[in-house]
Structure 1
Amino acid sequence: MTPLPRALHRELAAVLGDGWRVDPNERLAYAYDNSRRQALPDAVALPVERGQVVALVRACRAHRVPVIARGRGTNTTGAAVPVAGGVVVSFERMNRILAIRPGDRCAVVEPGVLNGELQAALEPHGLFWPPDPTSAGYSTVGGNLACNAGGPRAVKYGASRDNVLALGAVAGTGEPIRCGTATTKGATGYDLQRLLVGSEGTLALIVEATLRLTPLPPARRALRALYRDVAAAARAVARLMAQPVTPSMLEFMDATAVRLAREVGGADLPPEAGALLMIEADGDAQTLPHAVEALMRAAAGEGLVAIDDAADEAARERLWAARKALSPALRTLAPGKINEDVVVPVSRIPELVDGVQALAREFALPIVCFGHAGNGNLHVNLLFDPADAGQGARAEAALARVFALALALGGTLSGEHGIGLAKRAFLPQAIDPPTLALMRAVKAAFDPDGILNPGKLLPD
């Protein structure tokens, strides 16, 4: 029998029907996310419309029971793990594309729509939604919004927060709210929809999103620049982002990432490459060659080994497929992985890479860097054997130093993964006490009883 209050159990069973689950085996499927953390919820709710979400939040508030929103569990920081028990609200059944309006360049969707399914539906209209995380094929729009997901295209088109116009949500009070408007301009009150994006389900549960769409570029070309070492590649990133042409993608790989892309991902890369930049430009057929020339000039410089075009679309797809295979490929180096996505100003990337390499030597652990260099957002992967207590302790100590390094360089703790459980303790290092106090006041306004995703994002 569920440990939830009997009255709450009866009320939500009546509201949700077969969308109310209390069997331990069924609850287990919603106990973890991609952080590999786990905690069993007291129940799972599978709503199909916003009225059920309103009723659920109101009932849980009345009984002071935690409510944890969930997409498909691809988050890497533990943000979807129900550490305080309570009810996990999975939006997998609220997965309808409600409208695609090409003339307004917007789409209206429910939170359970998969990113990849949305892109497929938009393509016949010549449109796309810019956020493209590695998990796009199986992560939800709601989850993307909750963590402000980005991906390679964010360097030119922005992350989730930059591509949402309006949100329908249910606050921790149980009240339905509407934030923003389906227009690209608006100056009417506070910008609450951008506040909710990246809030990790701690302020409200998103039940509908009006998304800002972008026309598909008619043409694109990819470049592959190989460098002698990571320092040369990092300096090239700063040059690329200092000139007028903005690449549509700019990805960085260190030497170990290059080797994995070649050996595991199947990319055609020479063994002597010490670092690599994948650079892409998009636009119309007339201006694209000029953009590519400008990017090639910026990529050239001391330490460049070779730079070439991906010969055709198939070659381009193979290169990007190898990049997307990197994160799971790291498991071939060590069974344990801490994957953090720190951000620094683009001009400070050389110092970040140098500092991370120094930490790898100091702590005697492999640390692999790759990611969205055009935003200064690198994925720093600390690899270790969890069965070795010494390695685990060194990995945790090195992680704290990585965060301290990023902050010292004028950066921050996360670009797209969010805070969740993994970085919560470090938040006071990144945000001053008066600002944290203001954030807590905002949390209290949206969720006065603290039932929404407790224990996440904001430190005690």
Structure 2
Amino acid sequence: MDLPASLLSELAETLGNAVLLDPSERLAYAYDNSRRQALPDAVALPTSAEQVVALVKACRAHRVPVVPRGRGTNTTGAAVPVAGGVVVSFERMDRILQVRPGDRCAVVEPGVLNGDLQAALAPHGLFWPPDPTSAAFSTVGGNLACNAGGPRAVKYGASRDNVLALTAVTGTGEVIHCGTETTKGATGYDLQRLLVGSEGTLALIVQASLRLVPAPTARRALRAIYRDVSSAALAVARLMAQPVTPSMLEFMDGQAVRLAREVGGADLPPEAGALLMIEADGDEAILAHDIDALKRAATGEGLLALDDAADEAARQRLWAARKALSPALRTLAPGKINEDVVVPVSRIPELVGGVQELALACALPIVCFGHAGNGNLHVNLMYDPADELQAARASAAMSQVFALAIRLGGTLSGEHGIGMAKRDFMTEAVDPATLMLMRQIKSVFDPDGILNPGKLLPP
């Protein structure tokens, strides 16, 4: 769409030269890590909540879409301006406003990088638990928008579990304050948790008060290698049933193990059919006890080897297999569809088994790995995007993966969110009455439907 001259004038008055109109500049904000692309009509770079309020009100008056954006690391197309309009990039709202160690709280603007926040908290002996793979260059606002998790979520929770309060701007340009900067609160509806994971469809987060956790003084890792996926899944169930909660519990299927060994050079036996990376953190004095408990739980039918990293160098060597996996995937095919699904832990074998059957049926390699303690697996379907038949088979197979996860009592996403990639499957994952309630909530926050249209909720 062509933006009205009056709107451009209002944006210029509010933001000065922090409005990008040149096509070459707008192109940098046209895509995210999903590889989807759509050119916005303008890009706004606000530096304050007041500017966000003014631009949302201006866009509402002209019925122009507003698409919030962090750093574009999202994999579902949630940051792609498919309806045009104005992308609101929060890259200049990147201040850490407060760190209050006594309250275990940090107050930040949405454009703060997760990695920069962690570095600022380290001298205080604290950290913010969400640790997605993109932590070094993803923003706190983006993490909150899709409820990012990461390996530590098994013990510490995802973004939604680690936010205390939010200040946000609704689709009407109203500023709302949700939650409280205390670890307990029972005053009305839990709106801050509603906004986390809403992908910018309800409101634009302009400030977040985050729940912090004391940094552990020590970490130790175990690597458990199993004959097959079923043996590894039974071990996951045992690990999660005993009192010591691992700080990480990562899974790799047989295909992933083979790639890590043959391509990545990881030291793994050829008969390995699945692998668990188990980590514990805490005080050095009790860590040995915790590791012993995790060893006992990991031991059972189908265990081929159990390796213990007694020091940091050994811990890094054990993690080498997992780190070797991502680059090894590219040897299978030039293209990849990487979607996360989540199922009850007890049903991981059925999920992986079903995915292996799909791989045979579509004649394309599919590799599963991810956060076993939450039942949250990343399904990586490898194909050649230049081959139209492969692309069609890949798309159909991923649809079947979503259907399989739902049949197993799971759902479409554990941490990547819905965006565009999974939007059309929401009718399968959510019953009609609940979906209607979601639409009604959307209409209250954003009555004109200008906030990130085309995402999360199906048409």
Q: TM-score range by the shorter chain?
A: over 0.9
Tell me, in whole angstroms, the C-alpha distance in 1 between the residues paired with 2:3 and 2:262: 50
Secondary structure, aligned partner of 1:380: strand
Task: Note closer, same or farther for the CA distance 1:34–1:9 as it changes in structure 2 (3 Å cut).
Answer: same
Give the whole-Å Cα distance in 2 for the aligned partners of 1:408 and 1:206. 34
Q: How many Å separate the matches in 2 of 1:284 and 1:4?
A: 58
Cα distance in 2, alignment partners of residues 425 and 157 from structure 1: 31
The within-5 A match list for 1:8-407 is: 8-262=7-261, 267-320=266-319, 323-324=322-323, 326-407=325-406
Task: Report the 3-state secondary structure (helix = DSSP H, G, I; strand = E; otherwise coil) of the residue aligned with 2:357.
Answer: helix
Change (3 A) 1:19 1:69: same
State the 1:220 CA deviation: 1.5
Identity score, percent: 81
SS, match of residue 332 in structure 1: coil
Structure 2 contact 265–324 (Cα < 8 Å) conserved: no
Shift of 1:344: 0.5
Q: Which runs of 5+ in 2 are unaligned?
A: none
Query: 1:219 Cα shift?
Result: 1.6
**Using the alignment, how far apart are the partners of 1:260 and 1:49 within structure 2?**
47
1:15-42 deviations in Å (ceiling 9; x for gaps): 1112100000000000000000000000
CA distance in 2, matches of 1:97, 1:262: 42
Alpha-carbon contact 1:231-1:353 (below 8 Å) kept: no
Pair 410,449 (structure 1): closer, same or farther in 2 beyond 3 Å: same
Partners of 1:319 and 1:31 in 2: CA distance: 39
- Preserved CA contact (<8 Å) 2:369 2:377: yes
1:454 corresponds to: 453
Provide the TM-score with structure 1 as the length reference. Answer: 0.97
* CA offsets 1:284-324 (integer angstroms, 9 cap, x no match): 22322121111111111111110011242123235446535
Whole-angstrom CA distance in 1 between matches of 2:385 and 2:126 = 44
Name the CA distance, whole Å, in 2 between partners of 1:261 and 1:206: 40
2:381 aligned counterpart, secondary structure: strand
CA separation of 1:297/1:271 partners in 2, compared to 1, >3 Å: closer, same or farther?
same
Deviates more, 1:356-365 or 1:76-85: 356-365
Between the aligned partners of 1:357 and 1:14, the Cα distance in structure 2 is 57
CA deviation digits over 1:318-365, x for unaligned, max 9?
544653563454223111111111000111111111111111112211
Cα distance in structure 2, aligned partners of 1:354 and 1:118? 40
Q: What are the superposed Cα offsets for residues 213-252 of structure 1, whole Å, 9 maximum, x if unpaired?
A: 0001122210001112222212211221122221110000
Q: Is the contact between residue 254 and residue 276 of structure 1 (CA under 8 Å) also seen in structure 2? A: yes
Distance (Å, rounded) in 1 between the aligned partners of 2:267 and 2:106: 38
TM-score of the two chains, using structure 2 as the length reference: 0.97
Matched to 1:242, the amino acid is A
Cα contact 1:238–1:349 (8 A) shared by 2: no
Q: Contact conserved, 2:26 with 2:40, CA < 8 A, in 1?
A: yes
Return the letter of the residue paired with 1:33: D
Query: For 2:352, what is the secondary structure of its paired residue?
Result: helix
Q: How far apart, in 1, do the equivalents of 2:399 and 2:184 lie?
A: 41
Alpha-carbon separation, structure 2, partners of 1:135 and 1:80: 15
Per-residue deviation, 1:265: 5.0
Structure 2 vs 1, CA of residues 325 and 61 (structure 1 numbering), >3 Å: closer, same or farther? Answer: farther
Structure 2 counterpart of 1:223, which letter? L
Cα 1:90–1:266, aligned 2, differ >3 Å: closer, same or farther? farther
Shift in Å, 1:274: 2.2
Q: Distance in 2 between matches of 1:44 and 1:120?
A: 29
The question of whether the paired residues in 1 share the 8 Å contact of 2:222 and 2:318 is answered with no
Question: How far 1:256 moved relative to its partner?
Answer: 2.5
Spell out, residue by residue over 1:127-157, the C-alpha distance to the aligned partner (whole angstroms, 9 max, x if none): 0000000010110000000000000000000
| SS of aligned partner of 2:458 | coil
Contact 1:265 1:323 in 2 (8 A): no
More deviation, 214-223/202-211: 214-223
CA apart distance, 1:270: 3.6
Moved more, 257-266 or 346-355: 257-266
Q: Unpaired runs of 5+ in structure 1?
A: none
Aligned to 2:432: 433
Structure 2 Cα separation of the partners of residues 265 and 14 of structure 1: 54
Which whole-Å CA distance do the structure 2 matches of 1:90 and 1:319 have between them? Answer: 39
